[in-house]
Structure formats: C-alpha cells, structure tokens
Chains A and B, each alone.
Chain A
Amino acid sequence: MINFYEDDIKLTDIDLKDETYLFSFEPRITEIIHSIQEIGLINPPILVKKPDGFNYIIISGLKRVLALMHLKTQWVRARIIDQQRFVPALSLFRLGILENLGTRQFNVVEKSIIIRKLHDQFGLKDQEIIEGYFDLLNLGNNQRVLQTYLQINKLEDNIKIAIHDDLISPEMGYHLTKLDPDDRNSFFQFILQLKLGKNRQKEFIKLLDDISKRDQIKMARIIEDDSIRSILSREDLGVGLKLPMIRQILRRKRYPILTNLEERFSTIRKKLRLPPKIQIRPPENFEGDTYHIELNFKNQQEFAEQVRVLNSIADSQTLNELDELADAL
C-alpha cells in the first residue's frame, strides 16, 4: 500500500527534466488547458520528493503540470508519496501506469516506452514484463510482441509519430528497427510518398529486403535508383498510377523469370484478341499445367457467340505459344 499526503507545491520545484517515471509521447495539452480553465484541476498530479529533499519528480500528471504552467499558475495542489515507508521505484512506475489507465488508453509508442523502461531501467526479465504488465497494456502474452515493442522505442521520432498516428503498424515499426538509419529513412519517405497502406508496406518491404540481401546492395540505393526516382518525381502521375509502376519494377528485379512469364502471357493474351467477356487465366504462378477460360454471357446468343470465338482460336498458332511458355527461361 502506498500512502500519500496532499500539499501545495510550487510548479518551479517540479523537475521536468527527470523522466524516470514518465512515458507520455507527444503530450497534447490543449484539451486539458480548456478543462482547467473551465472547472479547475480535479485530479491532482502525483509527485515524489527527489533525494535532494527540495524538488519533486512527476509520477503521474505531466500534462496537468504542463497545462498549469501554460496558464502561468504558480502553485499546484498535488498528492505526494509519503516516503516514511520506503516505496521501490518500480512500484512508483507501476502506480503511474495504473493511475493513467484509470482515465485513458495508452498509444503504441507509450506502450513501447513503458516496456523499454521496465526492461532497461528497472531490469525486469522478459517473462516478468509479460506476466506483470502485458494484461495492463492489452498486449496478449507473446514474446514476439515484447521484442516488437522493445525495439519500437529506438526509432526516430518522426517514425514513432507515424506509428502513433496508425500510418504504420507496430510490426512494420519493428521491421524498420532492423534496417540501418539510411535504409530506414529512405523506406519511410517511400511509404509517405506513395501513401502505402499497411498491406502494401509489407509487400514492398519484402521485395526491397529480398533484393537488397540477394544483391548485397543497400535498400536506399534500390529506392533511389533512377528507374524509381523518375516515376516518383513525375508530377503528371497520381500516386494511384505511380504505385503499380514502381511495384512492377521491383517485382521484375525480385522475380525476373516469373515476371517475364507474366509479361509473355500477357502478350499472348493480347494476340488472341479475346472479347472482354472471355477471360483466360494461367495456372497460379505458372505452376500447374492447366489454363482456365471464363465465359460471361447473358443468354444463348451471347454464349453461342463466345463459343464461335473460342472455336476460331482453337487452331491458332498463338494458342500453341502458351504451351511453350514453361519451356524456355
């Protein structure tokens, strides 16, 4: 049990540089300023006296303190931890978490700061963090999640903000920590420029990562290659057009033989001059040996017409070219 007493504390006696117990990310205080202006401070911040005996450290209530400072207030009614009985630092940190949880959810970056502090600052083992804190943070009980959140905190602030704003997923954030800073920044800018959604981010990072490792070149160099730069810089093209063009460039680099097959198949399909209501599809990944034809018709007449078209290509040399596709590299 932790005991408190209430006291009026001078705001200048609060040491804002000491972040031992803090985990807020991007504190936005506009709303709380309005709230204090209208109804005053309802919930006092929790502070603990520093060992020097004069100043205080915030356990919980950073935004409230910042809002009061913004309002040029000089004193704050605060709850002070009674240290007549020793309270371990970890218990104070947990108190801050619990106190905040009473009023709000934590964002991804805050969770990562909490986990990083538990691990580095308070020396907790992985399993202790999972068992003692994952429920509180709504993170399940997975070791891999722990690693993800431990790493996210190492990212640059602009990437953390993107995670916070849900532009990129925590998993992608974790993946980005494995890249060197140049590659990370380059791919992050690439995501922003192409407005890549989360699934596309996964697809592109895999393509780039594979090419980079296979050819032993930096990811940034692939992204900054002329073939990609020239598309990214075109002002006459929207993102919707740039994206498939760049995707195809990367697929060609990653899967030269497969994309060559796809392009040859596409040429054959065009030569067959099938009407839009007849679709021809190759075996998936050109793996099997069976092509599929799909007919779309509304009545017997349309059906008969499509059968006539199919009959007309049955003997064509072009159709035979499909059979040769698998043969030559």
Chain B
Amino acid sequence: MPYKLFTPDHIYITSDAIDYPVTKQILSTFHNVKYTCVDDENSIDRSYTVLLLTKQRADFYKNCPGTKKYICCGYQILNLINNCEIGCTYCILQGYLDEPYITVFVNIDDLFQELSVLFNGDKNRYFRIGTGELADSLSTDHFTGYARMLVEFFSDKRNAMLELKTKTTQIDNILNIRHGGRTVVSWSLNTPRMIASEESNAPTLDERLLAAKRCQDAGYRIGLHFDPMIYYPNWEAEYKEVIDRVFEFLEPGHIIWISLGALRYPPYLEDIIRERHPNSKITYGELVTGIDNKMRYVKTIRIEMFRKMYQWLKKKDPNLFIYCCMEHSDVWKRSFGWTPGNSLTLKNMMDELIQ
C-alpha cells in the first residue's frame, strides 16, 4: 500500500488551544475538514479519524524512559505530538496511549521558551533531544510545519542537538533551511519483507533511503535505526541486502550513528498485537521476559543478529558508530567485542559525535 499522508475526518480543539497561530494554520490547511471546540478530550467522537489540537499542559521535555537495567543512550525527548497514524504492528503506542487519535500540542512558543531556559541554565551539559518517541517526527509535518521551526531553533545552539526520527519521506520542509549541523535526520529501517508485513502503511525501504539521501545532500547528518529487528527465516540474507542497499544511497561519512535493537514489547502488548494484527507473526517468535519485564528474543538470538549486523556494517566502513538500543552490557560485549559498560559512557560517546 503506498504511503498516504494523514488527513483527519474531524478536528477537535480544546478551548485553551483556539487562539494559537498553529491552530489557525492547521485549520486553514484542512479547511474542508469539520472541526469542533470542546472543553476536554472526553467529548471526542472516536469513531472518526481525529486530530486533536490542544495545549501541552505538562513539560514538553522529558528523559527517554529507558530502564536502568540495560545500557541506554541517555536520549531526551520532546512531546510535541502524541500518536502516529502509520500503525506498525509492533508499535508500543498501541498500549501506551489510551487515545486512538493524533494529538498536536499547539503552544510551540512555550516549548521554545522551555528549551531556552533549559539550555541556558546548564551550559556545561549537552542535550541530545528527539521528537520521535511518542510520534513519528515527520509524519504530521505537512500540516504542523514543526520540523522546520525546530531545526531552525536548534541551528545556533552550542550545547544541544535535535534528532528527527521517521519512517516517512516528508522532508521537503527542512531541505533548504539553515540547520547549522545541529540536526540529525534518522530513519528507522527494516527489510522489505518486514516493511510489507509489519509497517505496511509506511514508505518502502527505497523511498526512505532516497529521502535520507536528499537530506544527506542538504548537509544533514543521517542516523539509521535498525529497530525493531525481527528474527525470521532468511533474516540474515534480507538484512544484509538492506545494508547493501543503504550504501547505494548514503555515504558512510554522513552517517553519524546506527542503532540496533531487536523486537521488544511489554507483555500486555502481545494480546493487542494479536487482536489488531491477526496476520502478523512477530509475537510467535522466541520471546521471553527480559530483566526489564519486557518480552525480548532469547539473548542468543539477539547476540547472533547484532553480531552479524555489526560485522556487515563495519565491513562497509570501520568508522561507523554502531550502538545497541536498550541492551545488556553482556550483549554488547558478545556482539561487538566491546561495551561502553554503562549508560553514561554511551551518552558521552554519542554527545561527542555531534559536538
């Protein structure tokens, strides 16, 4: 199925969000779409494809909820948008967010103010921040235009960088703007077979790589995330082909980091995946309860996958920086032959890459 840009059937606006310029701009973009003002989110008719415009009443900025039991890269996240329309079978948001609609927080000026205070308040600290935790960073950019605002905001920051993580091709808003090298644009990659079965509403591998190449040509550094890797018959040949394909589009020198992560999810998500995606077989893999209580492939499987990916990638360019997302030090050591040992070391290593 070709990738289709998100268009709502109905827009809801909470009363405190009506007067914001972003609200007006979105209503103008979707001038044919009905909208309703509501006092709170309980009045939303969930039978529509809904877009909710509201005000972020909590902090925009948060630490990535990585568990202390595994090595975490020390990422920080901005909650500008909640939820994603792409609907990947394995998506954690299916269980994490109650609402079945996309929420855009329209008080973006508050976000910039919050970040300015944060960055100026601790100039010795380095902030590596992403918007791709509770949403795809770019899938709603055709009507929010947030990516451009963020990239320009970060372009002159000396102690912060932005990572936009996406599966989409919506890069036009950020191609010809001043980014100052402070933004990394990243793509989540998988094999064509897994994209077709588990990410069927997302752009194809080649479409993603072509978009990445265009960003590379615009001077951006590129991040790649092989996450979640799925273990299935013929995974080896197919993931290796993906790696070959990556380097037909991208220059290794422009790739700032590559992460590897295997399928994992909280146990309650299993029933949700099976019910919503009956054709998906991912939950029938050899997943066991990990030390963070999430379901993960048996460790030997993960080590095998990461070890091979690491070797294939390093063969392309030994200087590539490859890291594991949320893994045990033992898995790093056995897969890569080295380990950062703890989260702080990994964070420092990644911060240095961008500075």
- Residues in chain A within 8 A of chain B (CB atoms): 210, 213-214, 255-258, 261, 284-289, 325-329
Q: How far is the CA of A228 from the CA of B291 in the complex (A)?
A: 33
* Contacting residues, chain A, for B334 (C-beta < 8 A): 326-327
**Bound Cα distance A311, B93 (Å):** 51
A3 CB to nearest chain B CB (Å): 45
Set B286, B296, B299, B328: member contacting A255, Cβ < 8 A: B286
Task: Give the complex CA separation of A261 and B301 in angstroms.
Answer: 11
Chain A residues with CB under 8 Å of B33's CB are none
Distance, CA A256 to CA B298, complexed state (A): 10
Q: Contact residues of B with A, CB < 8 Å?
A: 281, 284, 286, 288-291, 296, 298-301, 303-304, 328-330, 334
B290: chain A residues at CB < 8 Å are: 285, 287
B191 to chain A, nearest CB (A): 19
Closest CB-CB distance, B231 to chain A, in whole Å? Answer: 10
Cβ-defined contact, A258 with B286, below 8 A:
yes
The 9 A-B pairs with the shortest beta carbon distances in the complex, nearest first, are A214-B284, A289-B330, A285-B288, A258-B298, A257-B298, A329-B304, A287-B290, A255-B286, A257-B286
B152 to chain A, nearest CB (A): 44
Selected A-B contacts with CB under 8 Å, 23 pairs = A213-B281, A214-B281, A257-B286, A257-B298, A261-B300, A284-B289, A284-B291, A285-B290, A285-B299, A286-B298, A286-B299, A286-B300, A287-B289, A288-B291, A288-B328, A288-B330, A289-B330, A325-B300, A326-B299, A326-B334, A327-B300, A327-B303, A329-B301
B300 — which chain A residues lie within 8 A by C-beta? 257, 261, 286, 325-329
Contacting residues, chain B, for A256 (C-beta < 8 A)? 286
Residues of A within 8 A of B296 (CB): 287
Instruction: Provide the residues of chain A in CB contact with B299, threshold 8 Å.
Output: 285-287, 326
Least CB distance from B89 to A in Å reads 14
A161 → chain B, closest Cβ, in Å? Answer: 29
B80 CB to nearest chain A CB (Å): 34
Alpha-carbon gap, A214 to B298, bound state (A): 17
In the assembly, what is the distance between CA of A240 and CA of B328, in Å? 39
**How far is it, in angstroms, between the C-alpha of A287 and the C-alpha of B287 when the chains are bound?**
11
> CA A261 – CA B330 in complex, angstroms?
17
